Each structure stands twice: as C-alpha cells, then as structure tokens.
Amino acid sequence: MGIAISMTVNGAAVSAEIDPRTLLVDFLRVNLGLTGTHVGCDTAQCGACTIHLDGRAVKSCNVLALQANGARVTTIEGLAGSGELHPMQAAFKECHGLQCGFCTPGMVMSAIDLVQRHPNADEATIRAQLEGNLCRCTGYHNIVKAVQQGAAAMSR
C-alpha cells in the first residue's frame, strides 16, 4: 500500500514510500525528523504547522504528503543559512516575539510569506494577514513588532 513520493525539502532531495493518508506534517516530523514544524490543533486553525509549499505558506496538518509530491518544501529548519539566523528569525529573537515558543515556527513561516507579498505592510495588514496563526500566550503585540522589524531587515 506504500506509494513512492519525492520532493525537495530545505534544498535537499528526499524520497520515501508512504501510506497515502500520511499528512505532510507527519512526513516532515516522523520520516524526516524535522520536528521544528509543530502540530498544535491538528484541525487547520492554529497555524503552528505552517510551512512553505512551492514558496507559499500552507498548513501542513491539512495537506497530504502526496499533495507535495514533486514540490519544493521549506520548513523552519531551512531558513537559517550557514549558522546565521534568517532576518525574520533574528527579529523575533530581538523583539521577544515569543513567549512559550510553540507557535513561533509557524508565525515565522507565515511572516515571511506575508512580507514577500506586502513588503511595506502596516500593523493592521500584519494583524489581518496573520489571522491563520494563533498564539496561545496572546503575545501578538511583540509578534507584530517582530514582523515589522523583520520586514525592514528583509528589504535591506
């Protein structure tokens, strides 16, 4: 019952035989050991599982791994190049855009998708565009600040 699947994850080619019902988030976490992508609600609401599928933010708990067959996937582990944090990661760290940190990988992945589409997003736009990411600590104020600082750093 296994189906062959292959994709590019964080720049590396990966392939496996999987059960067709395998969710993309489980493929990333269990098969590839990329546990930076979190499972929060498992019902496509909280956004902790957000990754980039061909450059676009999606909720990997609501996508079958087979829907990513042949695609290019980026997870939180794929952002920092050669030991240096991605500007958005650095901004979350500097602005204390996290409390418990559980939602952070999804927040960062959504924030990068957001800034790529709205490089000069104001606070209202950031809040609206992050609708699909929930912070249970309610740390939104610093998250929005971090996204603004990260956006500025990404444009440099």
Partner 1 sequence: MYAVEYQKAKSAADASGLIAKSGGRALAGGQSLIGAMKLRLAQPGTLVDLAGIPELAGIRVESGTLSIGAMTRHADVAGSADVKRTIPALAALAEGIGDRQVRNMGTIGGSLANNDPAADWPAAVLALGATVITHQRRIGASDFFKGMYETALAADEIITAVSFPVPRKAAYVKFPNPASRFALVGVFVAQLADGSARVAVTGAAPSVFRAASVEAALAKAFTPDAAKAAHVDAAGLSSDLHASAAYRAHLIPVIAARAVAAA
Question: Which residues make up the interface to partner 1 (CB under 8 A)?
Answer: 1, 3, 19-21, 23, 42-44, 47, 50, 53, 56-59, 62-64, 66-67, 110, 113-114, 129, 131-133
What would the two tokens of residue 76 be? 């939180």
Q: Compute the least distance from the CB of residue 121 to partner 1, in Å.
A: 12
Contact 144, 114 (CB under 8 A): no
Of residues 52 and 145, the one with the C-beta less far from partner 1: 52
Q: Compute the least distance from the CB of residue 58 to partner 1, in Å.
A: 5
Cα 90 to Cα 96: distance, rounded to the nearest angstrom? 10
**SS3 label, residue 76:** helix
Q: Compute the least distance from the CB of residue 23 to partner 1, in Å.
A: 8
Of residues 56 and 96, the one with the C-beta less far from partner 1: 56
Q: Compute the least distance from the CB of residue 5 to partner 1, in Å.
A: 10
Of residues 62 and 94, the one with the C-beta less far from partner 1: 62
Cα 15 to Cα 18: distance, rounded to the nearest angstrom? 9
Of residues 56 and 93, the one with the C-beta less far from partner 1: 56
Burial of 120 (0-12, 13-18, 19+ CB in 10 A): exposed
Cα 138 to Cα 80: distance, rounded to the nearest angstrom? 26
Of residues 44 and 85, the one with the C-beta less far from partner 1: 44
Q: Compute the least distance from the CB of residue 45 to partner 1, in Å.
A: 8
**SS3 label, residue 21:** coil
